[in-house]
Structure 1
Amino acid sequence: MELLPWQSKGGLGNFVSASSVVPVNDLKGPKPSSYAEGETQLRCKLAALYRLVELCGWSHGIYNHISARVDGKDEHFLLNPFGMMYSEMTASSLVKVDLEGKVVGQSSSPFSVNLAGWTLHSAIHGARQDIKCIIHLHPPAAVAVSSMKSGMLPLCQEALTLGDISYHDYQGIVINSEEKKQLVKNLGPTNKVMMLRNHGFVACGETIEEAFHYTFNTLAACEQQIKAVQAGLDNVHIPKADGAVTQNHLLAMQGVGGSDSQGTKWKRGELEFEALMRALDNMGYRTGYDFKLLPVAKKNGTSSSV
């Protein structure tokens, strides 16, 4: 069988090719009065995530969407304005909407939100109170794996850390209420990753850090699967679900992000996300991220105040 070359799209190495920088934290003053408690930081964090996805090469022009739930009694979440590139996203440009699709907060952008984006995110946010952040993307490797009858195969460590994966059959652009019900049913009460057949995937998290962690590992697993299956499935070794594999699965389901040599426990995605925010700030993006794990970053002026 002739092996076809696979051209990888994305990866953290694309950071070095960033040629222009627009500050993420464009909010003025220590506490903008128009935002609820904690929303300023959430906006900065989500806008920084959009930039991170762009720099990794995973964006799709003005399409795809990432949302974050706003804490409070109201069911509100932030979504990207439909018409802006991920590289343009700032804290003030994000649009706050409710589960009915109504814009409930001001935005510096003249755009509203994408209908399909609101439909997908409102369905999941409305049904899963444990989910704070939802990332929907469809880079080529993810679309390829979502189109395979086998779905995601447990071929590598990244795939094994995803836990149980859900699947949703393609029904066109997600804009109707019936499909919202099916999305929720297929995702289930605990899964965090759902492959959208012939379309891409959704990665969810109880935090923005966790959602990015699942996104990174989903895409890494997809790229590795595309490369491996070119040799034929008969030549691919599938790890047995015992020993270390079972332990990895348990860690994934328990929300453990790992521990260091001193036994300190970190939440999933916490360490790597803060490292990436430091990288963004060092590049001049002024994320406004409130660093917690490395206080020296604040002392050195790496973190912007909000």
Structure 2
Amino acid sequence: MAPAATILDGQSDNNKKYGGLGKAKDGRTFSVRSYPTFKTLEEERRYRKEHLAAAFRVFADHGYVEGITGHISVRDPILPDHFWLNPISVHFAHLKTSDLVLVNPDGEVVEGERPIQPAAFAIHAELLKARPDINSAAHAHSIYGKTYSAFGRELEMITQDSLRFYMQHAVYKNFGGIVFNREEGIRIAEALGTTNKAVILQNHGLLTVGKTPDEAAWWFLALENLCQVQLLADAAAAGSGNQKIIIDEEASVFTNKQSGTPEKGWLAFQTYYDDVLIRSKGDFLQ
């Protein structure tokens, strides 16, 4: 298990890439945190698992826990057609790296001591298979996400934060109950498409993806907040008769390039990771 100092490494001079100025008045330059490099695939596996475990702790902190629902995955770097997933019987608030389960393409547990959700496998197996550009997916039954999902429509581009998802989210309209078969997982993957990072599952909730569990988790946090904003804006508009102002395409495209990249998604999550690391004293790394 990597020490905390190693986990917090990943600093490099990526200021232009991340949009930071990175220079002090006295001439000093600063670096912006970025995804680390690894000497071995074993090191990367450990990193992915530790950040996946942290994502569950963050979800618990935000109340994205309801019984045994919800799951986050990450592709294994050594066995790319396998992925790590949470077991069905561990609360997000207590989940540790050692609790994670490695699953093969047939849904069999390769490493781990507990069973997984059939729905989790059906969704994540097909998403990761259909999208080799992503390594992680996150789904939970969050309050505002599942409330907004009842409308079966995309978000409106009404705030700066909405633009993180400009032309990068979709709606899956074919709700057919709990996802127990891979055909449903295939249809969800098709709805997500080849470039989107989120899909609103009608009458169900939210699902986000990313190159890292950090990114997928951050997009989920952001999308849940935006669903709350959309619901509030819709209610306010209906009550007052005022019209919502939609941000124009030029500003939407520009802002999305500044705040909607995988690097920004990963970076945004690191403050949450640090918070969990400090408050838990690294308990989730075990």
Shift in Å at residue 219 of structure 1?
Answer: 0.9
The answer as to 2:68 corresponding to 1:62 is: yes
- Contact kept? 2:208, 2:216, Cα under 8 Å: yes
The one-letter code sitting in structure 2 at the alignment partner of 1:277 is Y
Q: What is the TM-score with the length of structure 2 in the denominator?
A: 0.78
Shift in Å at residue 194 of structure 1?
Answer: 0.2
**Could you tell me which residue of structure 2 aligns to residue 167 of structure 1?**
171
- Contact kept? 2:55, 2:214, Cα under 8 Å: no
SS in 2 for 1:235: coil
The answer as to 2:285 corresponding to 1:281 is: no
Shift in Å at residue 70 of structure 1?
Answer: 0.8
- Contact kept? 1:26, 1:92, Cα under 8 Å: no
Gaps of 5+ in 2: 7-40
- Contact kept? 2:97, 2:284, Cα under 8 Å: no
**Alignment RMSD (CA, Å):** 2.5
SS in 2 for 1:245: helix
Residues in 1 aligned to 2:62 and 2:152: alpha-carbon distance in whole angstroms: 27
**Alignment of structure 1 residues 1-306 onto 2, 5 Å:** 36-105=42-111, 107=112, 110-164=113-167, 165-169=169-173, 170-233=175-238, 234-251=241-258, 255=261, 267-286=263-282
- Contact kept? 2:45, 2:78, Cα under 8 Å: no
- Contact kept? 1:115, 1:175, Cα under 8 Å: yes
Gaps of 5+ in 1: 1-24, 257-266, 290-305
Question: Greater helix percent: which structure?
Answer: 2
SS in 2 for 1:211: helix
> Cα–Cα, structure 1 residues 242 and 276, in superposed 2: closer, same or farther, change >3 Å?
same
Shift in Å at residue 154 of structure 1?
Answer: 1.8
The one-letter code sitting in structure 2 at the alignment partner of 1:214 is W
For residues 3-53 of structure 1, give each alpha carbon's deviation from its aligned partner in whole angstroms, at most 9, with x where no partner exists: xxxxxxxxxxxxxxxxxxxxxx799xx9xxxx9442222221111110011
The one-letter code sitting in structure 2 at the alignment partner of 1:124 is L
Residues in 1 aligned to 2:270 and 2:256: alpha-carbon distance in whole angstroms: 24
**Could you tell me which residue of structure 2 aligns to residue 3 of structure 1?**
none
> Cα–Cα, structure 1 residues 95 and 236, in superposed 2: closer, same or farther, change >3 Å?
farther
Identical residues among aligned pairs (%): 26
SS in 2 for 1:179: helix
- Contact kept? 1:123, 1:180, Cα under 8 Å: yes
- Contact kept? 1:44, 1:287, Cα under 8 Å: no
**Could you tell me which residue of structure 2 aligns to residue 7 of structure 1?**
none
For residues 29-84 of structure 1, give each alpha carbon's deviation from its aligned partner in whole angstroms, at most 9, with x where no partner exists: x9xxxx94422222211111100110112222321100011112441111001011
> Cα–Cα, structure 1 residues 152 and 38, in superposed 2: closer, same or farther, change >3 Å?
same
SS in 2 for 1:92: helix
Shift in Å at residue 93 of structure 1?
Answer: 0.6
Residues in 1 aligned to 2:206 and 2:49: alpha-carbon distance in whole angstroms: 23
Aligned residues: 246
The one-letter code sitting in structure 1 at the alignment partner of 2:271 is A
Shift in Å at residue 86 of structure 1?
Answer: 0.5
- Contact kept? 1:141, 1:223, Cα under 8 Å: yes
Shift in Å at residue 113 of structure 1?
Answer: 0.4
The one-letter code sitting in structure 2 at the alignment partner of 1:63 is T
- Contact kept? 1:26, 1:91, Cα under 8 Å: no
